[in-house]
């Protein structure tokens, strides 16, 4: 988490840098800072969101054609001005921004302190400019001092470094935290993610772990840790820069929900590529999904689909827990990694473990991200940039990829035909927005929610509860509908709304009876059912009628109701749904 931007331009850099770093605020918003280099290092920084800090100290009012900036999500040290990046050395000649965690910083800190270095922050990052200072004092230039420094760092880092002793360049380095370079006629760039610099260039180079980069007005030079030059492919990004803007909506989250019908069409266009990948699979008799958060819930639906349709033993493991299951891997296991960013630290670590024994497949949104370069096979979700921290359209696109994968593994034309009917049904569902706003208004003061579903729709209950927690700060729990009687029913009363996911299908009657039990204990029930369902109209509680779709495909539609419900409750509570507290879009540290 945290975002980095660096620019070497033929004009004043600060306006471009600040505009760019704003596009990374989804990665962190505890504090922000900028440093440029002229005949000296110029630094402005403060705690708070970018606009708040900018209104106080005018971040763009700083000279220099070369600069770096950072937006922070605190890991070491509170979100204060002193702990904000950039950090400098004792002589204020070197400035560094950093994304990641330096695991051995305490040892380095003590070593440097014993040598007379004075520190101003509580961060792990500050040891980096002091180490560079030490090596430059010994006669090394900025590049070799950076090389010497990163060889001593244990942990993850994406770095951008400037020095007033060499004011014509930025040095960058990467290990287990994302860093990209951008090339244009007007300048050259470093950044944590594509949206930051997409309005300046669509010519992107992705750095790998243990690579160092020098950026100057003449171009870029990428090297390994021994400073041997590396030739890199330039990727042309096809996203329109406007895709990363709000487009007239109040928030990115609601814009991205409304993009879901188009995202379904775009992701279905990957159908032939998925078909070809399935043909290349080796002989496997077990499937293991690995994911975190929302991607974990998408994977659970994959488990239900594969087990019920194909009969291949399948399990889903949280990436952060994967290390404890690694001994079960073999060359007859297909391990599928599901991730929006392709930079999730836990998932990358799990992939590196799995590759040693098993065939690997990545389902990922970001072209060229770390996971796409590690996995044996890659399916792109084609959702475009998702700026809101809470995943919405990327979840839908992950599900489409999983359903397509299952359809081709099963050679199931009927399922393929159903998938191609979804986009229009999604547009129909979005016409129910006003009903959801009314429900949100009624329940915005609730302190707890329960979400229940059976079979394919149990993961939808989990994802609905997660969306509520993420952007409204209301406690929500998702349960299999039949599980409430095994303990949680004791919590049900007239203060807790219960969301029941009730599409037509084999589990309908049992789930309906569970909802009756809940209503008998005084709870308000918010039912998500189908347009032709006359039975649920007997309920006096809130109802939401959806396009008629069978239980198997319901996860692709019913989750949109729950995304909208969470969104409008956050609006009622005057919470910014795009930037929930304590969360960031890409979790790049374990």
Q: What angle do CA 321, 324, 325 make, to 5 degrees?
A: 100
Q: How many CA atoms lie within 13 A of 473 on its CB side?
A: 13
Q: Which helix (H) or strand (E) holds 477?
A: strand 475-480
CA distances, 474 to each of 7, 52, 440, 447 (Å): 41, 26, 12, 6
Active site residue 356: no
Catalytic residue among 23, 169, 469, 585: 585
292 is catalytic: no
Q: Measured between alpha carbons, how far is residue 413 from residues 8, 102, 406 in Å?
A: 53, 51, 11
| Sign of the Cα pseudo-torsion (405, 409, 414, 415, in order) | negative
Nearest to 536 by CA among 550, 551, 526: 526
Taking the C-alpha atoms of residue 464 and residue 457, their distance in angstroms, rounded to an integer, is: 10
How long a stretch of residues is the chain?
Answer: 590
Find how far residue 589's CA is from the centre of its chain: 12
Sign of the dihedral through C-alpha 73, 79, 84, 88: negative
Asked if residue 27 lies in contact with residue 63, where contact means CB atoms within 8 angstroms, the answer is no
Which residues, other chains included, contact 529 with Cβ-Cβ below 8 Å and sequence gap of 6+? 502, 503, 536, 543, 544, 545, 546
3-state secondary structure of 221: strand
Q: Residue 563: in which H helix or E strand, if any? A: helix 555-572
Contacts of 154 (CB under 8 A, 6+ apart): 102, 103, 104
Catalytic residue among 2, 288, 292, 401: 2
Query: Distance between CA atoms of 523 and 496, rounded to whole angstroms?
Result: 6
CA 331 – CA 132 distance, rounded (Å): 45
Residue among 537, 410, 400, 390 at smallest CA distance from 469: 390
Q: Which is it for strands 157-163 and 359-364: parallel, antiparallel or unpaired? A: unpaired
Taking CB atoms within 8 Å and a gap of at least 24, the contacts of 134-141 are: 136/94, 136/163, 136/165, 141/166
Would you name the residues annotated as active-site residues?
A: 2, 585
């Amino acid at each position: 988490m945290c975002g980095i931007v660096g620019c070497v331009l033929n004009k004043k850099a600060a306006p471009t840098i600040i505009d760019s770093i704003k596009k990374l605020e989804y990665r962190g918003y505890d504090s922000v800072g900028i440093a440029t280099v002229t005949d000296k290092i110029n630094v402005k920084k403060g705690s708070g969101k970018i606009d708040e800090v900018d209104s106080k100290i005018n971040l763009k009012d700083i000279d220099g054609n070369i600069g770096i900036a950072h937006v922070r999500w605190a890991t070491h040290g509170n979100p204060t001005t002193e702990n904000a990046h950039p950090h400098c050395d004792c002589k204020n000649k070197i400035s560094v921004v950093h994304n990641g965690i330096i695991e051995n910083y305490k040892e380095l800190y003590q070593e440097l302190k014993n040598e007379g270095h004075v520190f101003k922050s509580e961060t792990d990052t500050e040891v980096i400019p002091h180490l560079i200072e030490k090596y430059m004092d010994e006669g090394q230039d900025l590049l070799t001092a950076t090389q010497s420094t990163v060889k001593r760092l244990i942990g993850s880092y994406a770095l951008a470094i400037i020095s007033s002793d060499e004011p014509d360049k930025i040095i960058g380095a990467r290990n287990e935290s994302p860093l990209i370079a951008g090339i244009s006629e007007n300048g050259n760039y470093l950044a944590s993610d594509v949206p930051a610099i997409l309005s300046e260039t669509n010519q992107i180079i992705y750095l790998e772990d243990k690579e160092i980069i020098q950026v100057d007005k003449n171009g870029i030079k990428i090297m390994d840790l021994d400073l041997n030059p590396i030739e890199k492919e330039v990727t042309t990004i096809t996203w329109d820069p406007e895709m990363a803007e709000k487009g007239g909506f109040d928030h990115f989250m609601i814009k991205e929900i409304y993009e879901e019908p188009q995202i379904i069409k775009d992701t279905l266009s990957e159908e032939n590529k998925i078909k070809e990948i399935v043909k290349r699979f080796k002989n496997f008799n077990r499937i293991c999904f690995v994911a975190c958060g929302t991607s974990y819930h998408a994977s659970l639906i994959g488990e239900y689909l594969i087990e019920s349709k194909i009969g291949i033993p399948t399990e889903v493991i949280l990436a952060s827990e994967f290390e404890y299951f690694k001994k079960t891997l073999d060359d007859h296991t297909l391990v599928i990694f599901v991730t929006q960013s392709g930079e999730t630290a836990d998932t990358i670590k799990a992939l590196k473990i799995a590759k040693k024994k098993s065939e690997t497949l990545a389902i990922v949104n970001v072209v060229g991200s770390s996971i796409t370069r590690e996995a044996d096979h890659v399916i792109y979700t084609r959702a475009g940039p998702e700026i809101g921290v809470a995943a919405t359209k990327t979840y839908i696109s992950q599900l489409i990829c999983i359903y397509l994968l299952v359809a081709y593994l099963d050679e199931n034309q009927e399922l393929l035909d159903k998938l191609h009917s979804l986009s229009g049904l999604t547009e129909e569902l979005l016409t129910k927005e006003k009903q959801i706003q009314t429900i949100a208004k009624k329940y915005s003061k609730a302190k707890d929610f329960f979400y229940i579903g059976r079979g394919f729709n149990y993961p939808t209950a989990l994802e609905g509860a997660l969306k509520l927690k993420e952007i409204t700060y209301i406690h929500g729990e998702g349960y299999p509908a039949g599980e409430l009687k095994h303990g949680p029913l004791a919590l049900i009363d007239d203060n807790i709304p219960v969301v029941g996911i009730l599409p037509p299908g084999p589990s309908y009657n049992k789930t309906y009876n569970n909802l009756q039990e809940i209503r008998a204990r005084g709870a308000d029930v918010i039912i998500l059912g189908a347009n032709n369902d006359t039975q649920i109209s007997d309920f006096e509680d809130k109802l939401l009628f959806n396009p008629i779709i069978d239980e198997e495909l319901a996860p692709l539609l019913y989750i949109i109701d729950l995304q909208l419900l969470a969104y409008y409750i956050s609006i009622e509570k005057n919470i910014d749904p795009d930037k929930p507290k304590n969360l960031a879009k890409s979790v790049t540290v374990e």
